[in-house]
Amino acid sequence: MGSETIHALKSISITINKGEYVAFMGPSGSGKSTLMNIIGCLDTPTEGTYILNNNDVSDLTENELAEIRNKEIGFVFQTFNLLPRASSLENVALPLIYAGYGSEEREEKALAALDGVGLKDRAYHKPNELSGGQRQRVAIARALVNDPSIILADEPTGNLDSKTSYSIMDLFAELHNKGNTIIMVTHEEDIAEYAHRIIRLRDGLIESDEINENVRSVTPV
């Protein structure tokens, strides 16, 4: 920033194992967005290393990072980021186009992903024909369609009401139970309680890194 250097993260070291469910929390400016961008291969660290699936991805080119993002990481955003003129099926199938799948296989995998989030019957609906919760489920199906190593969720319930938020978090719990690795950023304590490990950041440092002994249970139907 001008002549001032801002250290968004300062000599932090974190290990996340396959199959973990981790929530990052912290106030604005704590460094959690920068950390998420590095984990998601959207940014590269100016110093240090990032090892993903035994590969050092710290110094890869933009094209190499794009390939890693497509194959290894499924993104779920607060704002859904769906193409408004495309159907649910087309939105979910989008990462498969970049991965080089043929049209029949794309449709098959996308339908299976929508089925996995309970939205197969909405496959041909466009985003404006879906509720907020349904749109987020489509976004989750898109994140899952390539069988990524990590599901990276940035404030996944930020635009949803409480009831819908808990429904989405129930879905994340199911995905974790199936063996998916989930890393989530949230400002909301009740949402973080679904994670099995909570890492709190402040001023670019790890303030605490604790196992959640009281994981929030799935909402009864």
Average pLDDT over every residue of 70-83: 89
What is the tens place of the pLDDT at every residue in 181-205? 999 999 889 999 999 999 999 999 9
Domains and CATH numbers, the chain: 21-43+59-211 (3.40.50.300)
DSSP 57-106: -TT--HHHHHHHHHHHEEEEETT----TTS-HHHHHHHHHHHTT--HHHH
Could you tell me the pTM of the whole model?
0.88
Helix 88-98 and helix 132-144, axial crossing angle in degrees, nearest 10: 20
What is the tens place of the pLDDT at every residue in 54-64? 889 988 888 99
CA–chain centroid gap for 62, Å, is 20
| Residue 201: strand pairing partners | 206
Q: How many residues does the chain have?
A: 221
pLDDT at 79: 86
